[in-house]
Amino acid sequence: MNQVDYLRISLIDRCNFRCQYCMPEGAEIDYILQQQLLTDVELLTLIQEVFIPVGFTRFRLTGGEPLLRPHVVELVRAIASFPQTQDLSMTTNGFLLAPIAQNLYDAGLRRINISLDSLEPEIFDQIIGNRGRGKWEQVWQGIQAAYSVGFDPLKLNVVVIPGVNDHEVLNLAALTLERNWHIRFIEFMPIGNWQLFGDRGWVSSAELRQQIRDRWGLTESQVCGAGPADVFQIPGAKGTLGFISQMSECFCDRCNRMRLSADGWLRPCLLNENGQIDLKTALRAGISTAQLQEQVRELLAIKPEINFKQRESGTEGSYTRTMSQIGG
């Protein structure tokens, strides 16, 4: 088991898109009320006085859509200022990114992942479930802005959905040929949408790699990521290709992360809520940060026993929230 030193922090459970793999059509979403969210002060207290002392040094800000969180630039600046912070990154849909990309970079954010599931505006609209002119174009502007201010390499996340965008794999991979971009292909996951899967509802990373290998060739990259992606490169390309294979090639044994929800629940596994800790309620009740540290250490000790493998039977099990509510 890898050392667990990476915390994904959901800043807000709301999103301005409704992607079918994140918030399935017809799903009833009970959004967190403002007073139920961790405040900025509470979040920074937990990071500085609980998570850093027990060994967390790398942080990723997620959502919902993290750029919907008020004062997000100030939060980035505060987290980046902690001497123990070794890495600070963000995952966003990019729609609100262009106007504040420079501010985020100046505040200390250095790595950013942007969701781009299609290069075709009509398919993009279908996936995000929020039709309207200019959505794809505004996201593309956010990507260009992030690259121009210095986020390099830039990571683009692609959830491959059978029958929707799987025909675009080669076009998306081609973005790495002349740009130092890292395209990450992610197998479609059962997050609140298990009924969509049937016997087989995802395209395996092995199949995607074979498509790319047949077109250009493919070699293992010397660039190693901080997460679960297996990294490859088209010969001569400036960028890289990552494959996240949580469905076909379970990587629980090398998971190095925990997740903090926007309302303060600490979870050891994206797809399993067993063992979760309600840190917000404890903090507001006056429990000392030393006691909270001990609770987190206890959860770290049992993390290897709480994982995605327990869900391979195809049932919903202990998981009750959609991806947007927990932060992927």
Residue 224 labeled ligand binder:
no
The beta strand positions in 234-312, using DSSP E, are: 240-244, 257-260, 265-267, 277-278
Residue 90 labeled ligand binder:
no
Residue 21 labeled ligand binder:
yes
**Sign (positive or negative) of CA dihedral 159, 305, 8, 225:** negative
Residue 163 labeled ligand binder:
no
Phi, psi of 29 (to 5 degrees): -105, 120
Dist. CA 215–CA 228, nearest whole Å: 25
Cβ contact 73:95 at 8 Å: no
Residue 295 sits at the vertex; the CA angle it makes with 292 and 296, to the nearest 5 degrees, is: 90
Residue 19 labeled ligand binder:
yes
Residue 281 labeled ligand binder:
no
Residue 8 labeled ligand binder:
yes
Residue 250 labeled ligand binder:
no
Residue 255 labeled ligand binder:
yes
Dist. CA 288–CA 61, nearest whole Å: 25
Token match 């998981």: residue? 319
Residue 176 labeled ligand binder:
no
Which residues are within 8 A (CB) of 216 and not within 5 positions of it... i.e. 6 or more apart? 173, 234, 235, 237
Residue 142 labeled ligand binder:
no
Residue 269 labeled ligand binder:
yes
Edge to edge, the sheet with strand 154-160 lists 219-220, 230-233, 240-244, 181-187, 154-160, 111-115, 87-92, 58-62, 6-10, 257-260, 265-267, 277-278
Dist. CA 188–CA 254, nearest whole Å: 20
**DSSP run (H or E) holding 280:** helix 279-284
Residue 189 labeled ligand binder:
yes
Q: Which residues belong to the annotated binding site?
A: 8, 15, 19, 21-22, 60, 64, 91, 115, 155, 189, 252, 255, 257-259, 269
Q: Which residues belong to the annotated binding site for GTP?
A: 8, 60, 91, 155, 257-259
Q: Which residues belong to the annotated binding site for [4Fe-4S] cluster?
A: 15, 19, 22, 252, 255, 269
Q: Which residues belong to the annotated binding site for S-adenosyl-L-methionine?
A: 21, 64, 115, 189
